[in-house]
Structure formats: structure tokens, C-alpha cells
């Protein structure tokens, strides 16, 4: 009996110990559950704060853009769709992309451009727009066999020179698709979104048609009897246009620059360039037109005062215009040993800076007062003054075939890879 009582006592102690263990386990489980609940609540609060911050930023951007829109609208150089593009880009850029370097089709990129802070790639069969994180914000696949791209600060105009098909795009993607029935020689789009085509014509050497951005209707036709129009530029307010015509007389080439009033639908003035083939024309401001040719450039003020600037010791190899109407070009020396000189000018044609390089310039871009140039020495240069201390160079991992500059960042394309080079 004594042993039985002892066994009963031990059993109760074991039972009590087991109960204490179960209670401790329950308390531990409840503590873990409470901890998990608190962590979940903290994550939700953090996510809500992020969403709230994103919404606040987005609303702030909308307010600022709306104020800018109301201000700019009074000047007649902005449309509401440009504001909506900006708002869409703000939201689409909240989630980052894969980052650079990024692979694209080898030998597939025909041209690089910039659109605001985004990089535009014109490829065989598509147009892509990538943001600073390499996120694809616009993609427009197409079957254009001979694509040509024109970019303004508000829109992109992509056309097929052979078929006459074209597309208007903005920061939010495709806006409009159209077709004209003739071969396209040149195209252009202005800050207001209005656009124009120079096409083959049976009744004249070429026909330039101007279209309204609001409803894509034709505004005006300009018939050029003797020259082929190979360059078009709109003034900032969209009320005027400058055209380059190329012709031949007595077996010699010549160029003619036409300045046209789109409101009056007539030629304001024209300028003859004997023995010169113009390759670039643009309105740098509302009353100043700049043209470029092999060994120089012209600045025409107030539609009448023309001043030619001829170079000595080299020829213009690259020419670029930024969104503010400033322009820059690279002059390569004639001999193999000669280097290059890069020059930048403001919208009035006043020199901003020049810089000498010991190599040939192979690729070139100019935005916001900064020149980006790749050289035959394999380096990429960022130039913004006469002072060499302010100018920097870096070697990309792959030699540059095309180049673009946005702020202090250079995008270098080589062998199907886009690198992002920060200075």
C-alpha cells in the first residue's frame, strides 16, 4: 500500500508539471501570435504611409503641373494631354525597372533620343521609351520598313517613309495613327503637337502638309515647284515654319530656306544658298532660325537678317539641338591625326563654350547646356564649359555606337547593351 500511495503522488506531480508546461506553451504561442499581429499591423501602417506619401506626392505633382498648365496655356504652347502624360509617367515610375545595364537587340537600334527624363530607342520594328531605372514606360511595335522619328518636348512623330503610315505618341503611349498616300521626304512635330510632312507630289517637286494636333486635320499645303523639302521646323508658338529645299541648277546643287507664316498661309521670306547643301534647320526661338551645313551655319534673325558663319580647318560631323533652342556641334579635323572641337551656342547664336579633344568625335548629343561625346579613343566625355577642370571623361565597358545625355547622366549604347554612365 505504501508503494501505491507513492506512485499516486508522483503521478499528480507529473500531471501538474505537464499542466505548467502546457500553460507556458500556450503563453508562448499567444506571445508569438501577438508579436506576429503587431508586426503585421506595423507592415500595414508602413504600407499605408508609403501609399499616403505617394498619393501626396502625386497630388502635389498634379497641382504643380496644373498650375504650370494654366500658366503655359495662356502662352499657347502646351496642351492638356501633355499634362496628362506627365501625370501618367509619375504614377508609372513609382515602381522601378531592372536597372542598367540593359540588353536590347544587337544592331537593332537605329537611333537614340531623349524625351524629358526618358530615353527613346527607335528600333527595327518598335519604338521603346525607358526611364532612369530601365523600366519600359512606352512600347509601340510596328511594321514600318523605313522609319523616321521626329521629337518635340510634347510629342513623338514616327512615320514610315515608304508607305506613308505614321503614329503620334506621348509619355502615355500611342495617341493617334494615320496614313498619307505618298512617299515621305521629311517630317516634324512642334511643341504644340502640330506636325507636318514633306511628301512626293505629281504636280510639284514636293508637297508640305501641316496638321492640327487637336483633331489631326490638315491646316495648310505648301507646294514647292523646284526643290525637294528635306527639313522642317516649327516655331515654338506653332505660328511659323522653316523649310529646307534642295535643288539642282546647271548641274550644281543648291539649297533654299523658306520661312512660312502658318496663320497667313504664305511665304514670309526665302534665302538662297548657292553650292551649299543644308542639312539642319530649326527655330531656336520665336524670331531666330538656325541652319547647318558641312562647313558652317547660319543665324537668321527676325525672318530677314541672315549671318553666315564659315569654319576653317574642319567640317561639322555632328549637330544637336536641345529643348531650349540652344545648339552645339562637333568639328572634326581633316587629317587622321587631327582631333575635334566641340562648340555650344545659346538660342540667339551667341557662343557659350568650346572645348578641344585630342580624338575624333564618333557620337554626339547636347541637352541642358551639356555636351556628351564619345571619342575614337574609346572614352565618353561630358563637357559643359571652356574649363577642362569642369569637363570629365569615363570609359564605358563597351565602345559607344550611340549616345544620349540626360542631366549629368550619359546613356551609351554599344553591341546591344545600354550603359548608364554618371558623372
Please give the Cα distance from 87 to 89 (Å, whole number). Answer: 5
Look at residues 33, 59, 74 and tell me which one is the last residue of a structural domain: 74
129-166 pLDDT, tens digit each: 999 999 999 999 999 999 999 999 889 999 999 999 99
| Same-domain status, 207 and 194 | yes
| Residue 420, CA distances (Å) to 3, 94, 171, 394 in order | 86, 20, 21, 11
d(CA 240, CA 242): 7
- Check whether residue 320 and residue 365 sit in a common domain: yes
Is residue 325 within 8 Å of 284, Cβ to Cβ? yes
Q: Same domain, yes or no, for 185 and 255?
A: yes
Give the pLDDT of residue 68. 57
Residue 16 within any structural domain of the chain? yes
Q: What is the pLDDT of residue 33?
A: 75
How far does Cα 411 stand from its chain's mean position?
11
Smallest CA-to-CA distance from 159 within 132, 135, 140 is with 140
Question: Which grid coordinates belong to 333?
Answer: 579635323
Query: Do 241 and 319 share a domain, yes or no?
Result: no
Task: Kindly give the parts of the chain with pLDDT less than 50.
Answer: 1-6, 73-80
pLDDT tens digits, one per residue of 186-216: 999 999 999 999 999 988 999 999 999 999 9
Q: Is 141 part of any domain?
A: no
**Domain range enclosing 360:** 312-423
Same domain assignment for residues 299 and 337: no
Q: Is residue 366 part of a domain?
A: yes
* Helix, strand, coil shares, percent, the chain, to 5: 20, 45, 30
Residues 360 and 268 placed together within one structural domain of the fold: no
* Order of strands across the sheet that contains 206-211: 184-189, 195-200, 206-211, 218-224
pTM of the model: 0.78
Amino acid at each position: 500500500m505504501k508503494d501505491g500511495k507513492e506512485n499516486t503522488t508522483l503521478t499528480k506531480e507529473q500531471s501538474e508539471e505537464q499542466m505548467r508546461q502546457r500553460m507556458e506553451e500556450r503563453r508562448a504561442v499567444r506571445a508569438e501570435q501577438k508579436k506576429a499581429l503587431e508586426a503585421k499591423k506595423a507592415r500595414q501602417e508602413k504600407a499605408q504611409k508609403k501609399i499616403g506619401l505617394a498619393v501626396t506626392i502625386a497630388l502635389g505633382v498634379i497641382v504643380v503641373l496644373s498650375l504650370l498648365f494654366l500658366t503655359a496655356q495662356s502662352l499657347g504652347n502646351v496642351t492638356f494631354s501633355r499634362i496628362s502624360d506627365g501625370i501618367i509617367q509619375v504614377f508609372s515610375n513609382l515602381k522601378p525597372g531592372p536597372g542598367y545595364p540593359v540588353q536590347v537587340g544587337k544592331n537593332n537600334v537605329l537611333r537614340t533620343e531623349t524625351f524629358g527624363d526618358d530615353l527613346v530607342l527607335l528600333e527595327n520594328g518598335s519604338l521603346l521609351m525607358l526611364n532612369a531605372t530601365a523600366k519600359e514606360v512606352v512600347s509601340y511595335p510596328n511594321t514600318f520598313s523605313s522609319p523616321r522619328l521626329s521629337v518635340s518636348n510634347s510629342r513623338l512623330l514616327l512615320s514610315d517613309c515608304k508607305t506613308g503610315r505614321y503614329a503620334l505618341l506621348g509619355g502615355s503611349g500611342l495617341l493617334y495613327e494615320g496614313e498619307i498616300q505618298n512617299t515621305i521626304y521629311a517630317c516634324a512635330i512642334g511643341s504644340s503637337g502640330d506636325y507636318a510632312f514633306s511628301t512626293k507630289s505629281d504636280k510639284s517637286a514636293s508637297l508640305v502638309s501641316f496638321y492640327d494636333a487637336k483633331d489631326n486635320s490638315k491646316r495648310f499645303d505648301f507646294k514647292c515647284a523646284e526643290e525637294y523639302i528635306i527639313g522642317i521646323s516649327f516655331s515654338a508658338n506653332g505660328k511659323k515654319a522653316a523649310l529646307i529645299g534642295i535643288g539642282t541648277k546647271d548641274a550644281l546643287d543648291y539649297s533654299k530656306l523658306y520661312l512660312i507664316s502658318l496663320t497667313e498661309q504664305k511665304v514670309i521670306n526665302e534665302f538662297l544658298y548657292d553650292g551649299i547643301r543644308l542639312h539642319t534647320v530649326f527655330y531656336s526661338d520665336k524670331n531666330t532660325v538656325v541652319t547647318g551645313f558641312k562647313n558652317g551655319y547660319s543665324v537668321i534673325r527676325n525672318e530677314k537678317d541672315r549671318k553666315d558663319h564659315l569654319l576653317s580647318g574642319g567640317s561639322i560631323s555632328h549637330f544637336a539641338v536641345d529643348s531650349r533652342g540652344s545648339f552645339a556641334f562637333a568639328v572634326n579635323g581633316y587629317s587622321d591625326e587631327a582631333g575635334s572641337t566641340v562648340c555650344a551656342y545659346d538660342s540667339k547664336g551667341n557662343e557659350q563654350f568650346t572645348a578641344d579633344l585630342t580624338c575624333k568625335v564618333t557620337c554626339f548629343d547636347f541637352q541642358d547646356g551639356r555636351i556628351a561625346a564619345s571619342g575614337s579613343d574609346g572614352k565618353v566625355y561630358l563637357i559643359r564649359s571652356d574649363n577642362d577642370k569642369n569637363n570629365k571623361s569615363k570609359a564605358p565597358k563597351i565602345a559607344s555606337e550611340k549616345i544620349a545625355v540626360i542631366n549629368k547622366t550619359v546613356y551609351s549604347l554599344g553591341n546591344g547593351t545600354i550603359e548608364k554612365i554618371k558623372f
